[in-house]
């Protein structure tokens, strides 16, 4: 089940049936994003495909934007869950391998997760790789840009794993790293539908070299 917060939904689903309905609506939203794109996405079609009354849709989501925000949050939770699971499965020799692992998981989700090529962690793209629909850079939180929230969630994993003390310097570095990775990975998916592997490699090198000034050697 999705870990969408109560603040994201109009009404928190309390029963299993309601939770399943919310999941179905998010699943169909993701599929429709791949099929028709964001601009042609309608709440009516999402409800129809999810086999729920349109009134039920509006019990949980205020509008199309609210639905997409919930999907973006689910995507972010899924990505962080995948990264954390991989980190428990492998033995890392140093933090640079965690960079590669996180980027690999993101690329894999771009290739395989429904809707992720159009909406990953908030920004809405007209097509894989961009351009970005104006006004969606704060989908997750009206006060903060999406990448700031992503960087903050990653910081928790990094400090827990490496024991690196937090602080403004690390916070700023992670925002820069996420922004840089985002830009290069967009370029990779504009170049090739499945992501140009050479540009993905350049993204890894860029982030590792930049963060080497802010994280310990081992």
pLDDT in tens, 26-76: 999 999 999 999 999 999 999 999 999 999 999 999 999 999 999 999 999
Question: Does the residue 112 lie in any domain?
Answer: yes
Residues 142-199 pLDDT 10s: 899 999 999 999 999 888 877 777 789 999 999 999 999 999 999 999 999 999 999 9
Interval 195-206 mean pLDDT = 98
Question: Does the residue 218 lie in any domain?
Answer: no
Question: Does the residue 47 lie in any domain?
Answer: yes
Query: Dihedral of the CA atoms 156, 161, 167, 168 (nearest 10)?
Result: -70
Q: How far is 128 from 199, CA to CA, in rounded Å? A: 15
Question: Does the residue 7 lie in any domain?
Answer: no
Question: Does the residue 79 lie in any domain?
Answer: yes
Residues 122-144 pLDDT 10s: 999 998 888 999 999 999 998 99
Q: How far is 18 from 26, CA to CA, in rounded Å? A: 12
Q: How far is 173 from 175, CA to CA, in rounded Å? A: 5
Element (H, E) at 206: helix 197-211
Question: Does the residue 43 lie in any domain?
Answer: yes
Question: Does the residue 161 lie in any domain?
Answer: yes
Which CATH number belongs to the domain containing residue 155 in this structure?
Answer: 1.10.357.10
Number of domains observed in the structure of the chain:
1
43 Rama sector, left if φ>0, alpha if ψ -120 to 50, beta otherwise: alpha
Residues 86-132 pLDDT 10s: 988 888 788 899 999 999 999 999 999 999 999 999 999 998 888 99
CA 1 to chain centre: 16
Taking a C-beta distance cutoff of 8 angstroms, is the pair 107, 42 a contact?
no
pLDDT band for 3, please (50, 70, 90 cuts): very low
Distances in whole angstroms, Cα of residue 8 to Cα of each of 72, 136, 147: 11, 16, 18
Please tell me the predicted confidence (pLDDT) of residue 128. Answer: 81
Question: Does the residue 3 lie in any domain?
Answer: no
Q: How far is 135 from 124, CA to CA, in rounded Å? A: 9
Domain that holds residue 194: 16-211
Please tell me the predicted confidence (pLDDT) of residue 99. Answer: 95
């Amino acid at each position: 089940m999705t870990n969408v917060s109560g603040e994201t939904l109009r009404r928190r689903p309390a029963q299993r049936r309601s939770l399943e309905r919310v999941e179905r609506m998010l699943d169909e939203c993701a599929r429709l994003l791949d099929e028709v794109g964001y601009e042609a996405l309608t709440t009516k079609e999402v409800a129809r495909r999810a086999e729920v009354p349109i009134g039920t849709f509006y019990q949980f989501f205020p509008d199309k934007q609210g639905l997409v925000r919930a999907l973006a949050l689910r995507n972010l939770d899924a990505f962080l869950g995948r990264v954390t699971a991989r980190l428990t499965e492998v033995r890392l020799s140093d933090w640079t391998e965690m960079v590669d692992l996180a980027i690999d998981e993101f690329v894999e989700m771009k290739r395989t997760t429904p809707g992720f090529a159009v909406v990953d962690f908030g920004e809405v793209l007209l097509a894989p790789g961009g351009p970005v629909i104006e006004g969606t850079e704060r989908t997750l939180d009206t006060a903060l840009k999406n990448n700031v929230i992503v960087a903050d969630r990653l910081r928790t994993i990094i400090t827990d794993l490496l024991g690196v003390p937090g602080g403004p310097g690390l916070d700023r570095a992670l925002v820069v790293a996420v922004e840089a990775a985002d830009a290069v990975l967009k370029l990779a998916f504009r170049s090739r539908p499945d992501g140009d592997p050479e540009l993905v490699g350049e993204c890894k090198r860029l982030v590792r070299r930049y963060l080497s000034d802010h994280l310990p050697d081992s």
